Amino acid sequence: MKLTASVTSVGKYIRNLSDAALNHAEITALGKGLKYVPIPHLKLSEIMNDFKITERRMRLKVQFSTSAQKDKHPFKIGQAYTPLTSESNSLEDYLYATKLELAKLSIKKGFNLNKSERLALQNLRKIQIL
């Protein structure tokens, strides 16, 4: 009963200009508005691993920015070399401060959509008419 009440109240603000019929979950997902952003489930370990990759790239860029750039061979295999620290104190300060901020980051567990709304958004993405 609560679902149908929310669908009717949200349905007033949604105009379907396509021939596709929308179900209740799709209407409630669209009813959240254009400024609503669905947030996926994130883990702090994934964020820290992504930061390690970014940190490596930044240090390599600083270390090899002064050397002469040669033309890269198209079949060159990448290296796994990671510089421990760079000569740039400002970069090291930035990386350290960013690591501290990421460590303090509090991540909410779970999604901000229920399962039916997530599936509805996936179905809406698949429809070519919309």
Give the span between the Cα atoms of 103 and 85, in whole angstroms.
Answer: 20
The H-or-E segment that residue 112 falls in is none
Give the span between the Cα atoms of 5 and 25, in whole angstroms.
Answer: 13
Give the span between the Cα atoms of 1 and 128, in whole angstroms.
Answer: 32
pLDDT of residue 1: 44
Q: Which whole number is the average pLDDT over 6-19?
A: 76
Q: What are phi and psi of 28, to 5 degrees?
A: -70, -35
Q: Which whole number is the average pLDDT over 91-102?
A: 93
The answer to whether 16 and 31 are in contact (CB under 8 A) is no
Range in 36-40, 65-69, 82-86 the model is least confident about: 65-69
Question: Where in the chain are the domains?
Answer: 41-64+80-130
pLDDT of residue 32: 82
Give the span between the Cα atoms of 96 and 51, in whole angstroms.
Answer: 11
Q: Which whole number is the average pLDDT over 69-96?
A: 77
List, in sequence order, every beta strand (DSSP E) within 17-66: none
